[in-house]
Chains A and B, each alone.
Chain A
Amino acid sequence: MIRSFTATLAVFVLLLGAAPSGRSMEVLRPYLPAQAAPSPSPAATTVEQTATPDTETVTKDAALPPIVRVNVASQSFNFTQPWRKNSQVLRQGLGVVLMDGRILVTAELVNNHTYVELEKPETALKAAAQVEAVDYDANLALLAAPAAEFLQSISGARLDDSAVVGDRVEILQLETNGTTVRTPATITTIEVGSYPIDENAFLVFKLSAPLQPRENSFTVPVFKEDRLVGLVMRYDQRTQTADVVPAPVIQHFLAAAGSEPYAGFPRAGLSFSDTRDPQLRRYAKLPNGTGGAYITKVAPGSPAEASGIKVGDVLLRVDGKTIDQDGNYEDERFGKISLAHYVSTVLQAGQKIPLVVWRDGAEVPLEGTLAPRDRSKMVSPPYIFDAPPKFVIVGGIVFSELSRQFLREWGPNWAREGPFRLVYLDRYQSELPPDRGKVVFISSVLPGPNTVGYENLSFEVVEEVNGRPVKSLADLAAAVDSPTDAFHRIKLAEDPGLVILDVEGSKAEEERIKRDYRLPSMRRLDGAQ
């Protein structure tokens, strides 16, 4: 007898290379207070707010900077047991009070929040706050101000979008007693880099700074004199490097948050590679010195596809900006920066953009209209926050819809340790047929008389139920609601191939399952997108 080895060998688990994305997450962690590090001793306990950018020492001051503590109680959903929530986690960060009295924080601070509270540093006065806008891609959130008098003594901060490489800035933190601590830092790099949501790349400022762990440190603002330069989202203790969400991204977020509905960050929906290879240039008949980015992928339904751009085209100009052979344009302030920044942050959704591509040895003008990405069309959404996962239970078998949030239940090494077929489908979802729909799978079995022989099912992908194709949990629920005879026939995309349940038996089991497993309901279809 021969057996195929399917995703069972530990050898391969160990050999697997880097996780598909989130490459920097292993080194760069959110700057959590728990990570102790040798801290430089403060040079002075109190000095006036005259700490000049030249001073190397960490200084404290008694003046009131435009910051408040933000205390967040958060409770995430459990995706493997989608009817329950995980235990509460408390986070603390610093929010920046803006001119209009709203408070800016990172989105990571407030995800899955159940309660958000502001605390004034000097008086420890507290007030509940509301999350007004949040963008998990750009890792930014805006909190509505509580009663106006709460922030009376604090004047709002302005954005400084003029910072460039080499500038000296200050990272603000608070002592437990409310004293402000200012750590001088230098902007060492400005580039397009990854954000906490793996697949996103936006502008990142990298700072070199000897930051020490303090309690309110999940979100820490960076100022240049009295203007906001950005928010720290990650800090690497070893290299003393802080990654900052910079002012240009914040500016775009604030503008988008002002529109109804939230406009977000536009996406072109294309991938490109460099055209440095002279052999490739000759093959594409690209004249020397023209630069250009080789288009490698055009997402279906994206603005790029609508513009008529094709794989194999070489993108020469976007909105009048010349694209070099690495896919960079010349930014007025930052110099050479990836086109991704221009499209997502400099431009706005809805804008019409003229393009020029090189195709078959000639320039071809095109036009595209930018739009934010429609996540509802993604096979496996990269995150689900603030909404419960969907599920359907039929006779004890629990069905779920694939998302990366589900895979993250396997911890930081989910790409290696998660169910391999689902990891594969998530990772290569852009290569699936455009009409693939969502991936519905058996996430667990609540054993009972109905499920005898099915106890070991886990993570098999469902293809059809009662003769109907299943492209979402809603499809599955509808198919289950209209059986063709006395049995539910659930066809799987892989072995063991077929699961059959008794229609009456499944119905009769519902009450017992709800009671024994303490489930509030047998299905939830109005959950997260």
Chain B
Amino acid sequence: MPVRLRLLLLLAVFFSANSFGAPGPAASMVRISTTAQQPDYLVPWNPGNVGGGVGAGFVISGKRIMTNAHVVSNATFITVVKEGDPTPWEARVLHVAHDCDLAILGVYDEKFFEGTKPLEFGGIPELESTVSAYGYPIGGDRLSVTTGVVSRIDFQPYSHSEVDSHLAIQIDAAINPGNSGGPVMQNGKVVGVAFQGFSGAVAQNVGYMIPTPVVRRFLQDVEDGSYDRYMDLGATYFPILNPAKRKALGIEEPDRGVIIGSVFDGGPAQEKLQPGDVILSVDGYKVYADGKIDLDGERTEMAEIFERKFKGDKVKLELLRDGAKQDLTIDLDRPWPFDMQARAYDKRPRFVLVGGLLFQPLNRDFLDAQKDVDTRLRYFFDFYVSDHLYRERPEVIVLSEILKDPVNTYAAPFKGGIVDKINGQRIKSLDDVAAAFEQPGEFHVIEILGEGRPIVLERSALAEAGERIRQRYRVTTEQNL
């Protein structure tokens, strides 16, 4: 049974301490201290735990600081310290890209940048070429430099969002907690931003950095003042390696073409691509049978074409559909159903509380907070995209908690259930929950998926119970939509 383990360990802390006039990137490095408040998905009206963190960054052009998104996520207060200056300067997030784990910070007082040297970005380093990672990993307080070679250039999952994969470069220079956000240099230029690695229990000397195509794309995306995120086709595709399958699909050229498995609603390929279509080329690049293309002299994932594009850009596909060739142009966008499975940052949990019954939308952060997840809920999460469950339920609403009170004491067995209907209305979003409870009537009738008996709440009892529950459980607000 293939079981993918969650191996990726987020790295933190890059801290600069160096003498004046030091060569290399020392004069560009920034230590970032953050105070962050993690939302509480179990008690969503709670302000959440406040914690601190220290990360690293480096100065880039335009009086900006580049770092990892995970260094500044959920931050309520950020200070930066530069080399040779003990003063903490208050900073703010200018742009953050959670899908590729990058962020740009500004400093309120631009005097901060006096004496700093913006670093420049290089290209993709060659395999086996030597790179140096700068940072402040565990083992001491002063600057650490580790050197290694480029081991692999490939697509990798980015663990910060849990659902995104982009180009990443694996290096064997020791990268440990404390290297996050630090630059990886070659020939005086930044060739990557250290961001994640495997835990030592899993593998040694496997560290990853965000390569410059990803960094440049981020910088270009925010040029218009806002970040539009990565674009995607919104379809799955698979290699066609079987000879009979190639023949049956009418693919004449050997080694060519991938087949579309699923097409997702809400994505740019909806109603354009069909399952079973064979993609022969993308923007003129020949697609090999394993889904790779020749790009800039490298065999790269076909997805790299979409990765480099921006919102509204088009992509041209050459297709084989039912044995006939045809061309197709698709306006790229980001398919929304995947967001449910992605980790969310800088957002307050959404909920509705009625009569002690807490309703929350299913998503990764919610699920991670739960102690117990039953088979049905797990199915709705895992198969939300692949089984197109989002069509019927753009939001899967869970009766996540019952704050015990006389008004709801018989509802206890339904905790953890998925809400199907309230007062006869099918629930497709949290807004639907709030709206359904606004309806007049003697009873509120809540139907849970797969349960034959409804939860019944008498409207007359609710007003009194609401006040009692608010006080008893210190509920500060009854909904956040």
- Interface residues of chain A, those whose CB is within 8 Å of chain B, are 1-13, 15-17, 20, 271, 273, 276-277, 279-280, 282-283, 294-297, 311-312, 410, 415, 417, 419-421, 423-424, 427-428, 431, 450-454, 486-487, 489, 494-502, 505
| Residues of B contacting A15 in the complex (Cβ-Cβ under 8 angstroms) | 367, 370-373, 378
| Residues of B contacting A9 in the complex (Cβ-Cβ under 8 angstroms) | 4, 6, 382
Q: Are the C-beta atoms of B243 and A276 separated by less than 8 Å?
A: no
A421 CA / B2 CA spacing, docked (Å)? 14
Decide if the interface of chain B is mainly helix, strand, loop or mixed: mixed
Q: Are the C-beta atoms of A496 and B238 separated by less than 8 Å?
A: yes
| Residues of B contacting A495 in the complex (Cβ-Cβ under 8 angstroms) | 236, 238, 261-262, 386
| Residues of A contacting B382 in the complex (Cβ-Cβ under 8 angstroms) | 5-7, 9, 12, 420
How many Å from the CB of B188 to the closest CB on chain A? 32
Q: Are the C-beta atoms of B410 and A12 separated by less than 8 Å?
A: no
Q: A1-B232, A6-B382 are in contact. Are A283 and B456 (CB under 8 A)?
A: yes
Pick the contact of B259 from A280, A312, A497 — CB < 8 Å? A497
Q: A12-B381, A453-B242 are in contact. Are A279 and B236 (CB under 8 A)?
A: no
Q: Contact size class for B?
A: 35 or more
How many Å from the CB of A255 to the closest CB on chain B? 32
Pick the contact of B242 from A295, A452, A494, A497 — CB < 8 Å? A452
Q: A17-B374, A498-B259 are in contact. Are A417 and B1 (CB under 8 A)?
A: yes
Q: Is B62 an interface residue (CB 8 A)?
A: no
A487 CA / B378 CA spacing, docked (Å)? 37
A431 CA / B242 CA spacing, docked (Å)? 37
Pick the contact of A1 from B155, B241, B244, B371 — CB < 8 Å? B155
Q: A4-B163, A277-B456, A497-B262 are in contact. Are A420 and B379 (CB under 8 A)?
A: yes
Q: For residue A282, which residue of chain B has the nearest CB?
A: B458
Q: A487-B244, A498-B276 are in contact. Are A295 and B452 (CB under 8 A)?
A: yes
Q: Is B3 an interface residue (CB 8 A)?
A: yes
Q: For residue B449, which residue of chain A has the nearest CB?
A: A431
Q: Are the C-beta atoms of A2 and B3 separated by less than 8 Å?
A: no
Q: Are the C-beta atoms of B5 and A16 separated by less than 8 Å?
A: no
| Residues of A contacting B381 in the complex (Cβ-Cβ under 8 angstroms) | 12
Write out, one digit per residue, whether chain B residues 441-477 have a CB within 8 A of any chain A CB (1) or not (0): 0010100001111101110010000000000000000
Q: For residue A501, which residue of chain B has the nearest CB?
A: B244
Q: A1-B303, A295-B452, A424-B379 are in contact. Are A500 and B3 (CB under 8 A)?
A: no
Decide if the interface of chain A is mainly helix, strand, loop or mixed: mixed
A494 CA / B245 CA spacing, docked (Å)? 17
How many Å from the CB of B167 to the closest CB on chain A? 10
Write out, one digit per residue, whether chain B residues 249-278 have a CB within 8 A of any chain A CB (1) or not (0): 100000000011110000000000001100
How many A-B residue contacts, CB cutoff 8 Å? 179
Q: For residue A495, which residue of chain B has the nearest CB?
A: B261
Q: Is B165 an interface residue (CB 8 A)?
A: yes
Q: Are the C-beta atoms of B4 and A10 separated by less than 8 Å?
A: yes
Q: Is B166 an interface residue (CB 8 A)?
A: yes
How many Å from the CB of A275 to the closest CB on chain B? 9
Q: Are the C-beta atoms of A451 and B238 separated by less than 8 Å?
A: no
CB under 8 Å from chain A, chain B span 153-174: 155, 157, 162-166
Q: Are the C-beta atoms of A6 and B244 separated by less than 8 Å?
A: no
Q: For residue B303, which residue of chain A has the nearest CB?
A: A1
Q: Is B395 an interface residue (CB 8 A)?
A: no
Please name 17 pairs of A and B residues whose Cβ atoms are closer than 8 Å in the assembled complex, sorted by A: A1-B301, A1-B307, A6-B385, A7-B383, A8-B4, A16-B373, A16-B375, A277-B456, A279-B410, A282-B456, A283-B443, A294-B452, A496-B238, A497-B275, A498-B276, A499-B242, A502-B243
| Residues of A contacting B367 in the complex (Cβ-Cβ under 8 angstroms) | 12, 15
A509 CA / B476 CA spacing, docked (Å)? 69
Q: Are the C-beta atoms of A2 and B164 separated by less than 8 Å?
A: yes
Q: For residue A19, which residue of chain B has the nearest CB?
A: B375
| Residues of A contacting B451 in the complex (Cβ-Cβ under 8 angstroms) | 296
- Interface residues of chain B, those whose CB is within 8 Å of chain A, are 1-6, 99, 155, 157, 162-166, 230, 232, 236, 238-245, 247-249, 259-262, 275-276, 301, 303, 306-307, 334-335, 338, 341-342, 367-368, 370-376, 378-379, 381-387, 407, 410-411, 443, 445, 450-454, 456-458, 461
Apart from the given pairs A6-B382, A495-B261, 15 other A-B contacts in the complex at a CB distance below 8 Å: A11-B368, A15-B378, A16-B375, A279-B443, A294-B453, A420-B379, A424-B383, A487-B247, A487-B248, A494-B387, A495-B238, A496-B236, A497-B276, A498-B245, A500-B242
| Residues of A contacting B164 in the complex (Cβ-Cβ under 8 angstroms) | 1-3
| Residues of B contacting A296 in the complex (Cβ-Cβ under 8 angstroms) | 451-453
A8 CA / B378 CA spacing, docked (Å)? 11
Q: Are the C-beta atoms of A2 and B239 separated by less than 8 Å?
A: no
| Residues of B contacting A273 in the complex (Cβ-Cβ under 8 angstroms) | 452-453
A17 CA / B377 CA spacing, docked (Å)? 11
Q: Are the C-beta atoms of A279 and B244 separated by less than 8 Å?
A: no
Those 3 A-B pairs whose CB atoms lie nearest each other, nearest first: A296-B452, A453-B241, A277-B410
How many Å from the CB of A138 to the closest CB on chain B? 26
Q: For residue A410, which residue of chain B has the nearest CB?
A: B1
Interface centre among B232, B379, B458 (most CB of A within 10 A): B379
Q: Are the C-beta atoms of B245 and A453 separated by less than 8 Å?
A: yes
A424 CA / B1 CA spacing, docked (Å)? 16
Q: A12-B378, A500-B245, A500-B248 are in contact. Are A421 and B261 (CB under 8 A)?
A: no
Q: For residue A423, which residue of chain B has the nearest CB?
A: B375
Q: A417-B1, A495-B238 are in contact. Are A500 and B157 (CB under 8 A)?
A: no
How many Å from the CB of B243 to the closest CB on chain A? 7
How many Å from the CB of A15 to the closest CB on chain B? 5
| Residues of A contacting B155 in the complex (Cβ-Cβ under 8 angstroms) | 1
| Residues of A contacting B259 in the complex (Cβ-Cβ under 8 angstroms) | 496-498
| Residues of A contacting B239 in the complex (Cβ-Cβ under 8 angstroms) | 453
| Residues of A contacting B443 in the complex (Cβ-Cβ under 8 angstroms) | 279, 282-283
How many Å from the CB of A459 to the closest CB on chain B? 9
| Residues of B contacting A501 in the complex (Cβ-Cβ under 8 angstroms) | 242, 244
| Residues of A contacting B407 in the complex (Cβ-Cβ under 8 angstroms) | 279
| Residues of A contacting B458 in the complex (Cβ-Cβ under 8 angstroms) | 279, 282
| Residues of A contacting B244 in the complex (Cβ-Cβ under 8 angstroms) | 450, 487, 500-502, 505
| Residues of A contacting B275 in the complex (Cβ-Cβ under 8 angstroms) | 497-498
Q: Are the C-beta atoms of B372 and A421 separated by less than 8 Å?
A: no
How many Å from the CB of A288 to the closest CB on chain B? 15
Q: A4-B163, A273-B453 are in contact. Are A497 and B1 (CB under 8 A)?
A: no
Q: Are the C-beta atoms of A1 and B262 separated by less than 8 Å?
A: no
Q: For residue B304, which residue of chain A has the nearest CB?
A: A1
Q: For residue A485, which residue of chain B has the nearest CB?
A: B248
How many Å from the CB of A462 to the closest CB on chain B? 15
Q: Are the C-beta atoms of B372 and A17 separated by less than 8 Å?
A: yes
| Residues of B contacting A282 in the complex (Cβ-Cβ under 8 angstroms) | 443, 456, 458
Pick the contact of A431 from B341, B450, B457 — CB < 8 Å? B450
How many Å from the CB of B4 to the closest CB on chain A? 4
| Residues of A contacting B306 in the complex (Cβ-Cβ under 8 angstroms) | 1
| Residues of A contacting B242 in the complex (Cβ-Cβ under 8 angstroms) | 451-454, 499-501
How many Å from the CB of B295 to the closest CB on chain A? 14
| Residues of B contacting A2 in the complex (Cβ-Cβ under 8 angstroms) | 99, 163-165, 230, 232, 334-335, 338, 342
A10 CA / B382 CA spacing, docked (Å)? 12
Q: Are the C-beta atoms of B261 and A453 separated by less than 8 Å?
A: no
| Residues of A contacting B342 in the complex (Cβ-Cβ under 8 angstroms) | 2
How many Å from the CB of B321 to the closest CB on chain A? 13
Q: Are the C-beta atoms of B376 and A428 separated by less than 8 Å?
A: yes
A497 CA / B335 CA spacing, docked (Å)? 20
